[in-house]
């Protein structure tokens, strides 16, 4: 055994040339992947006069950020986006964890029907139900309100997250819950006190994904909100046409919109990777 | 569970119902109901400024499926976009996953950098690309001119604009493939690879005869999920080109949106949304069969 392993282990260490090439290729790939974001950050730091030739000149300033922060509508959009994303995450998880648990723990016609339903609705393009939702929202008087944007945002995650949650619960051995049931625990008790704690890594992963999806979502906000509830993505898209020539402000706004998502992803990365591996 | 099942039959049913009730209610109110109302509107004369709501039968559907813009531009664009963006992100994502699937120094940093696009909102990605491919001040043209080549007015020609849209989408979604395929790679059994190494099998043969077949179920699931999402792409096209120049880069979601909210014809917009929904439903069912067959074999 050791005779076979020894040369193998040795062969795994590549020669210096290959190693250099590998390192070079990786650096180039990383650079290409990060470049658009780096360019955006660089643009946001350039003064108005230097923005058209970002690659020339060396003056940098934070003035664009200050100017953007004075736009009341933008600040409001940031607050709204953060609020809706957080609320949507909490409620989506409440709703989909239980639905995924049901899909995982029960077989039979009810479970199969529910699974078929969420698969079909997962395929339906957003536009096919958000477009008519526009007049549903208007007739219920929830157009351009928090609740009118929040509820569809919760609804949109039901299909995909129930499906992911089913996968997570499938990977958790149900024998502990059986034991709890035999010991006189109710089904709710078995679900909440036994199954739920072991699903926490998966729930954390979904929370990160859900927050990012909502923060980044555009179409819902475009159709379901007007002036009263501006969302950050919509405001930015309007900027492109209205302030088309003021790229430094555009870039500053975009950078600020990236920061929360980056922080969350940075801290949440390990949960997402661990959660998706389950 | 068999022990507990029999004496609590009615209770189990109730438990199941309670577990899915909130989700089912939301789904009913915010997806099923709007789709039903949209279907109703698609048969009626429902202009936003003057909703007469007169029954017009299949007139809107006829108008949509005989519209040359829909048949000759929007549908081919949508399918072309779906195929190229999914294949592109799959190939690049798989390459990166293979690259990352070995220990090396700085792996954590590389992994974090490669995940960056995953956190970027599609709208922001589109804004960045729009700025980089700006015909007067964009860095891409500046670099091209620096190299002695001619800059292109990227976003005002049909195929270059379409190319930029594709590039943006592939950039955005490659990390998603990398993440899931890397997880798949790391869960593969070790033994076959060690055996191949002892036999001195070439790297390409290991990839094509071992890695690829064993990874196939993960690949198929990723492709199906992504393809269905790619079909409904809206935000990057809207922000990058607005469907232009002319209407030459419109995808299906944009087409329905423009009909409903720019032409203010909710009836015909709903009809277009339903036609697209039906198309993707058929594609989705075919793909589901494919997944079923692959994962079972």
Q: In this predicted model, what pLDDT tens digit does every residue of B126-139 receive, in sequence order?
A: 989 988 998 888 88
Contact B30 A36 (CB under 8 A): no
Does residue B124 sit at the A interface (CB-CB below 8 Å)?
Answer: yes
Q: What is the 3-state secondary structure (H, E, C) of chain A?
A: CHHHHHHHHHHHCCCHHHHHHHHHHHHHHHHHHHHHHHHHHHHHCCCHHHHHHCCCCCCCCCHHHHHHHCCHHHHHHHHHHHHHHHHHHHHHHHHHHHHHHHHHHCCCHHHHHHHHHHHHHHHCCHHHHHHHHHHHHHHCCCCCCHHHHHHHHHHHHHHHHHHHHHHHHHCCCCHHHHHHHHCCCCHHHHHHHHHHHHCHHHHHHHHHHHHHHHHHCCHHHHHHCCCCCCCHHHHHHHHHHHCCCCHHHHHHHHHHHHHHHHHHHHHHHHHHHHHHHC
Q: pLDDT-derived band of residue B218, with 50, 70 and 90 as boundaries?
A: confident
Answer yes or no: are the C-beta atoms of B66 and A190 closer than 8 Å: no
Q: Please tell me the distance from the alpha carbon of residue B75 to that of residue A74, in angstroms, as a whole number.
A: 36
* B33 close contact with A: CB closer than 8 A: yes
Name the E strands within chain B.
Answer: 44-46, 51-55
pLDDT at B174: 93
Query: A63-72, A93-102, A139-148: which range is least confident on average?
Result: A63-72
Q: Give yes or no for B171 touching A (CB within 8 A).
A: yes
What is the rounded average pLDDT of the residues A127-148?
88
Identify the sign of the CA torsion B249, B251, B257, B263. Answer: positive
Neighbours of B288 (CB within 10 A): 15
Q: Which residue of B has its CA nearest to A215?
A: B121
Phi, psi angle pair for A6, to nearest 5°: -55, -55
β-partners of residue B44 are B55
Task: For each of the domains in chain B, give its residue range(s) and CATH number, in order of start.
Answer: 2-42 (no CATH), 61-296 (1.10.3720.10)
In the structure, what pLDDT confidence band is assigned to residue B80 with cuts at 50, 70 and 90? very high
> Do residues B253 and B229 lie in contact, with contact meaning Cβ atoms separated by under 8 Å?
no
**Closest to A236 in 3D by CA, of A220, A249, A223, A227:** A249
Partner residue facing A36 (CB), from B35, B129, B234? B129
- For chain A, say whether B167 makes contact (Cβ under 8 Å): no
Q: Under a CB-based contact definition with an 8 Å cutoff, are residues B229 and B237 in contact?
A: no
Helix (H, G, I), strand (E, B) or coil at B46: strand
Cβ–Cβ gap B273/A98 under 8 Å: no
B146 near A CB under 8 A: no
The 10s digit of each residue's pLDDT in A45-87 is 888 777 777 667 777 888 888 888 888 888 999 999 999 999 9
Nearest-by-Cβ selection for A30 from B114, B256, B273:
B114
Min Cα distance A144 → chain B (Å) is 15
Report ipTM for this prediction.
Answer: 0.83
Nearest CA-CA distance, residue B259 and chain A, Å: 11
By the 8 A CB rule, do B111 and A26 touch? no
Question: Does A114 sit within 8 Å of B113, measured CB to CB?
Answer: no
pLDDT at A243: 63
Task: Please give the structure tokens belonging to residue A11.
Answer: 């062969």
- Residues A95, B23: C-beta atoms closer than 8 Å: yes
The CATH homologous superfamily to which domain A65-277 belongs is: MetI-like (1.10.3720.10)
Contact A159 B171 (CB under 8 A): no
B233 touching A (Cβ < 8 Å): no
3-state secondary structure of B55: strand
User: Residue B197: its chain A contacts at CB < 8 A?
Assistant: 8, 11
Does B82 contact A at CB distance below 8 Å? no
Residue B10 has pLDDT above 80, yes or no: no
User: Which among A55, A111, A154 has CB closest to B142?
Assistant: A55
Give the CA-trace dihedral at B13, A210, A144, B268, to 10 degrees. -80
**Could you tell me what percent of chain A has a pLDDT over 70?**
91
For residue B190, the model assigns a pLDDT of: 84
Q: B121–A118: do the CB atoms touch at under 8 Å?
A: no
**Cβ-Cβ contacts under 8 Å, B34 against chain A:** 129-133, 136
In 3-state terms chain B splits into helix, strand, coil percentages (rounded to 5) of 75, 5, 20
Q: Contact, B242 vs A240, CB < 8 A?
A: no
For residue B2, is pLDDT > 50? no
- CA angle, residues A195, A196, A201, in degrees to nearest 5: 115
B 240-269: CB under 8 A from A: 252-253, 256-257, 260-261, 266, 269
Q: What is the mean pLDDT of chain A?
A: 83
CB–CB of A174 and B288 under 8 A?
no
**What per-residue confidence (pLDDT) applies to B289?**
85
- Does the beta carbon of B34 lie under 8 angstroms from any beta carbon of chain A? yes
More confident residue, A277 or B41: B41
Q: Which helix (H) or strand (E) holds B179?
A: helix B158-186
Enumerate the domain spans of chain A. Answer: 13-61, 65-277
State how far the Cα of A178 lies from the Cα of B88, in Å rounded to an integer: 46
Q: Which of residues 196-215 of B touch A (CB under 8 A)?
A: 197-198
Q: Furthest-apart CA pair in chain A: how many Å? A: 78
Q: Residue B293's pLDDT band (boundaries 50, 70, 90)?
A: confident
**8 Å CB contact of A131 and B123:** no
């Amino acid at each position: 055994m050791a005779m076979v392993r020894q040369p193998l282990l040795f062969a795994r260490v590549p020669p210096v040339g290959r190693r250099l090439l590998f390192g070079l290729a990786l650096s180039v790939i990383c650079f290409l992947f990060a470049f658009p974001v780096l360019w955006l950050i660089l643009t946001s730091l350039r003064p108005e006069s230097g923005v058209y030739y970002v690659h020339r000149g060396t003056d940098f300033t934070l003035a664009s950020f200050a100017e953007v922060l004075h736009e009341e509508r933008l600040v409001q959009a940031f607050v709204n986006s953060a609020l809706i994303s957080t609320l949507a995450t909490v409620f989506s998880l409440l709703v989909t964890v239980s639905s995924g648990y049901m899909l995982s723990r029960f077989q039979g016609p009810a479970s199969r029907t529910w699974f078929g339903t969420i698969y079909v609705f997962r395929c339906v393009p957003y536009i096919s139900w958000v477009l008519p939702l526009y007049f549903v929202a208007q007739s219920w008087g929830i157009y351009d309100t928090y609740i009118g944007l929040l509820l569809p945002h919760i609804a949109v995650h039901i299909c995909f997250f129930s499906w992911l949650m089913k996968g997570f619960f499938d990977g958790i051995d149900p024998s502990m819950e059986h034991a709890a049931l035999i010991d006189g625990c109710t089904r709710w008790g078995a679900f909440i006190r036994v199954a739920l704690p072991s699903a926490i890594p998966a729930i954390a992963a979904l929370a990160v994904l859900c927050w990012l999806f909502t923060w980044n979502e555009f179409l819902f906000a475009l159709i379901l909100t007007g002036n009263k509830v501006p969302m950050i993505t919509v405001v930015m898209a309007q900027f492109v046409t209205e302030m088309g020539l003021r790229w430094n402000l555009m870039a500053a706004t975009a950078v600020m919109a990236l920061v929360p998502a980056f922080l969350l992803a940075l801290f949440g990365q390990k949960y997402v990777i661990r959660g998706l591996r389950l | 569970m068999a022990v507990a099942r029999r004496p609590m039959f009615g209770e189990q049913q109730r438990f199941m119902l309670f577990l899915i009730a909130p989700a089912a209610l939301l789904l009913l109110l915010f997806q099923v109901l709007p789709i039903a109302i949209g279907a109703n509107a698609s048969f009626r004369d429902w202009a936003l400024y003057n909703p007469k709501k007169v029954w017009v039968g299949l007139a809107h559907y006829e108008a949509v499926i005989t519209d040359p813009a829909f048949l000759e531009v929007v549908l081919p664009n949508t399918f072309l976009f779906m195929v190229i963006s999914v294949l592109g992100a799959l190939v690049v994502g798989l390459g990166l996953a293979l690259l990352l699937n070995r220990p090396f120094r700085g792996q954590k940093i590389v992994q974090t950098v490669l995940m960056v696009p995953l956190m970027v909102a599609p709208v922001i990605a589109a804004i960045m690309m729009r700025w980089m491919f700006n015909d007067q001040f964009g860095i891409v043209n500046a670099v091209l001119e620096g190299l002695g080549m001619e800059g292109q007015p990227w976003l005002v020609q049909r195929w270059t604009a379409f190319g930029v849209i594709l590039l943006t989408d592939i950039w955005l979604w490659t990390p998603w493939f990398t993440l899931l395929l890397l997880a798949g790679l790391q869960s593969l059994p070790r033994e076959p690879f060690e055996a191949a190494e002892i036999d001195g099998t070439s790297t390409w043969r290991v990839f094509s005869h071992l890695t690829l077949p064993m990874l196939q179920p993960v690949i198929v699931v990723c492709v199906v999920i992504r393809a269905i999402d790619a079909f409904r792409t809206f935000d990057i096209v809207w922000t990058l080109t607005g469907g232009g120049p002319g209407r030459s880069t419109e995808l299906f979601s944009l087409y329905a949106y423009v009909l409903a909210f720019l032409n203010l014809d909710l009836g015909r917009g709903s009809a277009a949304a339903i036609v697209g929904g039906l198309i993707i439903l058929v594609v989705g069912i075919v793909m589901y069969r494919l997944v079923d067959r692959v994962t079972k074999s």
